[in-house]
Amino acid sequence: MTVEAGNLSFRYGDKPVLREVSFALTSGRFHALLGPNGAGKSTLFGLLTRLLALQQGDIRLAGQSLRKQPAEAMRKIGVVFQQNALDLDLTVRQNLQYHAALHGLSRREARERGDRELARFSLLERANDAVRTLNGGHRRRVEIARALLHNPSLLLLDEPTVGLDVASRKALNDHVRTLCKSEGLTVLWATHLIEEVRQDDRVLILHQGQLLANGDGHSICEAEGTSTLAETFHSLTGAGAS
Ligand SMILES: Nc1ncnc2c1ncn2[C@@H]1O[C@H](COP(=O)(O)OP(=O)(O)OP(=O)(O)O)[C@@H](O)[C@H]1O
Protein backbone atom coordinates (compact mmCIF):
# COMPACT_ATOMS: atom_id res chain seq x y z
CA MET A 1 0.00 0.00 0.00
CA THR A 2 1.33 3.43 -0.83
CA VAL A 3 1.63 6.06 1.86
CA GLU A 4 2.06 9.74 1.13
CA ALA A 5 2.68 12.25 3.87
CA GLY A 6 2.68 15.88 2.83
CA ASN A 7 3.93 18.85 4.77
CA LEU A 8 3.34 17.42 8.25
CA SER A 9 4.06 19.75 11.11
CA PHE A 10 3.16 19.07 14.71
CA ARG A 11 3.65 20.82 18.03
CA TYR A 12 2.96 19.93 21.64
CA GLY A 13 1.76 23.25 23.01
CA ASP A 14 4.27 25.72 21.65
CA LYS A 15 7.01 23.12 21.18
CA PRO A 16 7.45 22.19 17.51
CA VAL A 17 8.21 18.49 17.16
CA LEU A 18 7.71 17.82 13.44
CA ARG A 19 8.57 20.42 10.82
CA GLU A 20 7.15 20.13 7.30
CA VAL A 21 7.80 16.44 6.96
CA SER A 22 6.95 14.98 3.54
CA PHE A 23 7.65 11.48 2.25
CA ALA A 24 6.20 8.62 0.29
CA LEU A 25 6.41 4.91 1.12
CA THR A 26 6.55 2.40 -1.71
CA SER A 27 4.12 -0.48 -1.75
CA GLY A 28 5.64 -3.80 -0.67
CA ARG A 29 8.94 -2.36 0.57
CA PHE A 30 10.70 -2.24 3.93
CA HIS A 31 11.32 1.33 5.08
CA ALA A 32 13.47 2.26 8.05
CA LEU A 33 12.60 5.41 9.94
CA LEU A 34 15.88 6.16 11.63
CA GLY A 35 16.26 8.88 14.22
CA PRO A 36 17.90 9.48 17.59
CA ASN A 37 15.77 9.57 20.73
CA GLY A 38 13.45 12.55 20.65
CA ALA A 39 13.63 12.96 16.86
CA GLY A 40 9.84 12.77 16.55
CA LYS A 41 9.40 9.17 15.39
CA SER A 42 6.65 8.27 17.88
CA THR A 43 4.87 11.53 17.13
CA LEU A 44 4.91 10.66 13.44
CA PHE A 45 3.51 7.22 14.31
CA GLY A 46 0.84 8.93 16.38
CA LEU A 47 -0.24 10.89 13.32
CA LEU A 48 -0.14 7.84 11.02
CA THR A 49 -2.31 5.87 13.44
CA ARG A 50 -4.57 8.79 14.34
CA LEU A 51 -3.69 8.65 18.01
CA LEU A 52 -2.76 12.27 17.42
CA ALA A 53 -4.86 14.63 15.34
CA LEU A 54 -3.26 16.18 12.28
CA GLN A 55 -2.41 19.83 12.84
CA GLN A 56 -0.86 20.67 9.50
CA GLY A 57 -0.51 18.63 6.32
CA ASP A 58 -2.19 15.39 5.34
CA ILE A 59 -1.49 11.67 5.11
CA ARG A 60 -2.88 9.55 2.28
CA LEU A 61 -3.05 5.78 2.63
CA ALA A 62 -3.60 4.05 -0.71
CA GLY A 63 -4.74 7.43 -1.98
CA GLN A 64 -7.28 7.96 0.83
CA SER A 65 -6.88 11.03 2.96
CA LEU A 66 -6.77 10.54 6.73
CA ARG A 67 -8.57 13.84 6.95
CA LYS A 68 -11.43 12.76 4.69
CA GLN A 69 -11.76 8.96 4.83
CA PRO A 70 -10.06 8.02 8.07
CA ALA A 71 -11.99 4.81 8.89
CA GLU A 72 -11.45 3.27 5.48
CA ALA A 73 -7.76 4.13 5.47
CA MET A 74 -7.24 2.83 9.02
CA ARG A 75 -8.59 -0.63 8.27
CA LYS A 76 -5.52 -1.35 6.17
CA ILE A 77 -3.03 -0.64 8.93
CA GLY A 78 -1.43 -3.00 11.46
CA VAL A 79 0.50 -1.39 14.31
CA VAL A 80 3.07 -2.53 16.83
CA PHE A 81 3.67 0.15 19.43
CA GLN A 82 6.80 0.71 21.45
CA GLN A 83 5.10 -0.28 24.70
CA ASN A 84 3.76 -3.78 25.24
CA ALA A 85 0.04 -3.82 24.46
CA LEU A 86 -0.73 -7.45 25.33
CA ASP A 87 -2.72 -8.60 28.33
CA LEU A 88 -0.12 -10.61 30.22
CA ASP A 89 -2.68 -12.71 32.10
CA LEU A 90 -4.53 -13.88 29.00
CA THR A 91 -3.19 -16.66 26.82
CA VAL A 92 -1.57 -15.94 23.50
CA ARG A 93 -4.66 -17.16 21.66
CA GLN A 94 -7.03 -15.13 23.86
CA ASN A 95 -5.04 -11.98 23.12
CA LEU A 96 -5.34 -12.65 19.40
CA GLN A 97 -9.06 -13.45 19.63
CA TYR A 98 -9.78 -10.30 21.57
CA HIS A 99 -8.05 -8.19 18.94
CA ALA A 100 -9.77 -10.06 16.10
CA ALA A 101 -13.17 -9.41 17.69
CA LEU A 102 -12.36 -5.69 17.75
CA HIS A 103 -11.83 -5.92 14.00
CA GLY A 104 -15.15 -7.71 13.50
CA LEU A 105 -13.74 -11.15 12.67
CA SER A 106 -15.90 -14.16 13.56
CA ARG A 107 -14.59 -16.61 16.18
CA ARG A 108 -13.80 -19.14 13.47
CA GLU A 109 -11.93 -16.63 11.32
CA ALA A 110 -10.11 -15.37 14.38
CA ARG A 111 -9.00 -18.87 15.32
CA GLU A 112 -7.92 -19.75 11.76
CA ARG A 113 -6.02 -16.55 11.12
CA GLY A 114 -4.55 -16.48 14.62
CA ASP A 115 -3.22 -20.00 14.28
CA ARG A 116 -1.86 -19.24 10.82
CA GLU A 117 0.06 -16.24 12.17
CA LEU A 118 1.30 -18.14 15.21
CA ALA A 119 2.50 -20.98 13.01
CA ARG A 120 4.37 -18.51 10.86
CA PHE A 121 6.10 -17.22 13.99
CA SER A 122 6.80 -20.75 15.28
CA LEU A 123 4.59 -20.01 18.28
CA LEU A 124 1.63 -22.32 17.74
CA GLU A 125 2.68 -24.62 20.56
CA ARG A 126 2.54 -21.63 22.94
CA ALA A 127 -1.02 -20.66 21.95
CA ASN A 128 -2.54 -21.73 25.26
CA ASP A 129 0.17 -20.30 27.48
CA ALA A 130 -0.28 -17.02 29.35
CA VAL A 131 1.66 -14.23 27.64
CA ARG A 132 3.38 -13.60 30.98
CA THR A 133 5.30 -16.88 30.55
CA LEU A 134 6.79 -15.84 27.18
CA ASN A 135 10.18 -14.17 26.82
CA GLY A 136 10.45 -10.65 25.42
CA GLY A 137 11.23 -11.74 21.86
CA HIS A 138 8.24 -14.08 21.76
CA ARG A 139 5.94 -11.42 23.18
CA ARG A 140 6.97 -9.08 20.38
CA ARG A 141 6.25 -11.83 17.86
CA VAL A 142 2.77 -12.23 19.31
CA GLU A 143 2.27 -8.48 18.95
CA ILE A 144 3.27 -8.62 15.31
CA ALA A 145 1.04 -11.68 14.73
CA ARG A 146 -1.81 -9.73 16.31
CA ALA A 147 -1.13 -6.68 14.14
CA LEU A 148 -1.40 -8.89 11.05
CA LEU A 149 -4.67 -10.65 11.97
CA HIS A 150 -6.92 -8.43 9.91
CA ASN A 151 -4.68 -8.70 6.82
CA PRO A 152 -3.39 -5.14 6.75
CA SER A 153 -1.31 -3.98 3.82
CA LEU A 154 0.74 -1.53 5.88
CA LEU A 155 2.61 -2.59 9.01
CA LEU A 156 3.91 0.15 11.31
CA LEU A 157 6.40 -0.78 14.02
CA ASP A 158 7.60 1.81 16.51
CA GLU A 159 10.96 0.68 17.95
CA PRO A 160 9.70 -2.91 18.21
CA THR A 161 12.99 -4.30 19.51
CA VAL A 162 13.26 -2.11 22.61
CA GLY A 163 14.32 -4.26 25.56
CA LEU A 164 15.38 -7.26 23.46
CA ASP A 165 18.84 -8.78 23.33
CA VAL A 166 20.92 -8.55 20.15
CA ALA A 167 19.99 -12.01 18.86
CA SER A 168 16.23 -11.48 19.40
CA ARG A 169 16.45 -8.05 17.79
CA LYS A 170 18.04 -9.48 14.70
CA ALA A 171 15.57 -12.39 14.53
CA LEU A 172 12.60 -10.02 14.72
CA ASN A 173 14.04 -7.67 12.13
CA ASP A 174 14.78 -10.58 9.76
CA HIS A 175 11.31 -11.95 10.29
CA VAL A 176 9.56 -8.73 9.37
CA ARG A 177 11.73 -8.43 6.26
CA THR A 178 10.70 -11.94 5.23
CA LEU A 179 7.04 -11.05 5.77
CA CYS A 180 7.47 -7.92 3.73
CA LYS A 181 8.76 -10.00 0.80
CA SER A 182 6.36 -12.93 1.09
CA GLU A 183 3.19 -10.92 1.77
CA GLY A 184 3.92 -7.78 -0.22
CA LEU A 185 3.49 -5.78 2.99
CA THR A 186 4.56 -2.17 3.12
CA VAL A 187 6.59 -1.78 6.32
CA LEU A 188 7.67 1.27 8.29
CA TRP A 189 10.12 0.26 11.02
CA ALA A 190 11.15 3.04 13.41
CA THR A 191 14.44 2.68 15.21
CA HIS A 192 17.36 4.60 16.65
CA LEU A 193 19.65 1.62 16.04
CA ILE A 194 21.66 1.79 12.85
CA GLU A 195 22.33 -1.97 12.96
CA GLU A 196 18.64 -2.61 12.24
CA VAL A 197 18.92 -0.79 8.92
CA ARG A 198 20.48 -2.14 5.72
CA GLN A 199 22.18 -0.23 2.99
CA ASP A 200 19.62 -1.34 0.39
CA ASP A 201 16.60 -0.34 2.54
CA ARG A 202 14.51 2.69 1.86
CA VAL A 203 15.66 4.97 4.65
CA LEU A 204 14.15 8.07 6.21
CA ILE A 205 16.39 9.92 8.64
CA LEU A 206 14.53 12.12 11.09
CA HIS A 207 16.35 14.53 13.38
CA GLN A 208 14.83 17.22 15.60
CA GLY A 209 11.57 16.94 13.72
CA GLN A 210 13.04 17.34 10.26
CA LEU A 211 13.48 14.74 7.58
CA LEU A 212 17.16 15.05 6.69
CA ALA A 213 17.37 12.18 4.20
CA ASN A 214 14.89 10.07 2.32
CA GLY A 215 15.69 7.47 -0.29
CA ASP A 216 17.48 4.19 -0.71
CA GLY A 217 20.48 3.77 1.57
CA HIS A 218 23.02 3.74 -1.25
CA SER A 219 21.82 7.05 -2.74
CA ILE A 220 21.70 8.66 0.68
CA CYS A 221 25.32 7.69 1.31
CA GLU A 222 26.33 8.86 -2.14
CA ALA A 223 24.69 12.23 -1.56
CA GLU A 224 26.45 12.58 1.80
CA GLY A 225 29.79 11.39 0.41
CA THR A 226 29.97 8.57 2.95
CA SER A 227 30.44 4.84 2.49
CA THR A 228 28.12 3.49 5.19
CA LEU A 229 24.74 4.41 6.61
CA ALA A 230 26.30 4.56 10.07
CA GLU A 231 28.62 7.32 8.87
CA THR A 232 25.75 9.11 7.17
CA PHE A 233 23.60 8.89 10.30
CA HIS A 234 26.47 10.21 12.39
CA SER A 235 27.31 13.06 10.04
CA LEU A 236 23.66 14.15 9.78
CA THR A 237 22.62 13.77 13.41
CA GLY A 238 25.76 13.37 15.46
CA ALA A 239 24.42 10.02 16.68
CA GLY A 240 24.70 6.36 15.96
CA ALA A 241 28.24 5.76 14.71
CA SER A 242 30.69 3.90 16.88
N1 LIG B 1 2.95 14.47 25.08
C2 LIG B 1 4.03 15.24 24.89
N3 LIG B 1 4.05 16.50 25.36
C4 LIG B 1 5.12 17.31 25.18
N5 LIG B 1 6.25 16.92 24.52
C6 LIG B 1 6.28 15.67 24.04
C7 LIG B 1 5.18 14.76 24.19
N8 LIG B 1 5.50 13.59 23.60
C9 LIG B 1 6.74 13.75 23.10
N10 LIG B 1 7.20 14.99 23.36
C11 LIG B 1 8.49 15.55 22.95
O12 LIG B 1 8.51 15.56 21.53
C13 LIG B 1 9.80 15.24 21.03
C14 LIG B 1 9.69 14.05 20.09
O15 LIG B 1 9.30 12.92 20.84
P16 LIG B 1 8.99 11.51 20.15
O17 LIG B 1 8.61 10.57 21.25
O18 LIG B 1 8.06 11.71 19.03
O19 LIG B 1 10.42 11.14 19.57
P20 LIG B 1 11.04 9.71 19.23
O21 LIG B 1 11.91 9.93 18.05
O22 LIG B 1 9.97 8.70 19.14
O23 LIG B 1 11.93 9.45 20.48
P24 LIG B 1 11.97 8.18 21.46
O25 LIG B 1 12.68 7.13 20.70
O26 LIG B 1 12.77 8.69 22.63
O27 LIG B 1 10.55 7.85 21.80
C28 LIG B 1 10.67 14.97 22.26
O29 LIG B 1 11.38 16.14 22.54
C30 LIG B 1 9.67 14.68 23.34
O31 LIG B 1 10.16 15.06 24.60
For ligand 1, the distance from its centroid to the CA atom of residue 228, given in whole angstroms, is 27
CA distance 165 to 209: 28
Atom of ligand 1 nearest to the CA of 42: 22
Cβ–ligand 1 contact at 42 (below 6 Å): yes
Cβ–ligand 1 contact at 12 (below 6 Å): yes
Cβ–ligand 1 contact at 63 (below 6 Å): no
Which pLDDT tens digits describe the chain residue by residue (242 residues)? 899 999 999 999 999 999 999 999 999 999 999 999 999 999 999 999 999 999 999 999 989 898 887 787 788 899 999 888 899 999 999 999 998 988 888 889 889 999 998 998 889 999 999 999 999 989 999 999 999 898 899 999 999 998 888 988 898 899 899 989 988 999 999 999 999 999 999 999 999 999 999 999 999 999 999 999 999 999 999 875 44
Cβ–ligand 1 contact at 41 (below 6 Å): yes
Cβ–ligand 1 contact at 95 (below 6 Å): no
CA distance 210 to 207: 5
The count of other CB atoms within 10 Å of the CB of residue 238 is 10
For helices 217-224 and 229-237, the axis angle rounded to 10 degrees is: 60
Q: What is the pLDDT of residue 240?
A: 58
Cβ–ligand 1 contact at 99 (below 6 Å): no
Strands (E), the chain: 3-12, 15-25, 30-34, 56-61, 64-65, 77-80, 154-158, 186-191, 202-207, 210-216
How far from 209 is each of 53, 212, 240, CA to CA, in Å?
Answer: 17, 9, 17
- Mutate-to-test residue for ligand 1 from 41, 191, 194, 196, highest number of ligand atoms within 8 A of CB: 41
For ligand 1, the distance from its centroid to the CA atom of residue 209, given in whole angstroms, is 10
Burial class (CB in 10 A: 0-12, 13-18, 19+), 61: buried
Q: What are phi and psi of 146, to 5 degrees?
A: -65, -40
For ligand 1, the distance from its centroid to the CA atom of residue 37, given in whole angstroms, is 8
For ligand 1, the distance from its centroid to the CA atom of residue 156, given in whole angstroms, is 17
Cβ–ligand 1 contact at 182 (below 6 Å): no
Give this prediction's pTM.
0.92
For helices 92-102 and 136-147, the axis angle rounded to 10 degrees is: 30
Cβ–ligand 1 contact at 104 (below 6 Å): no
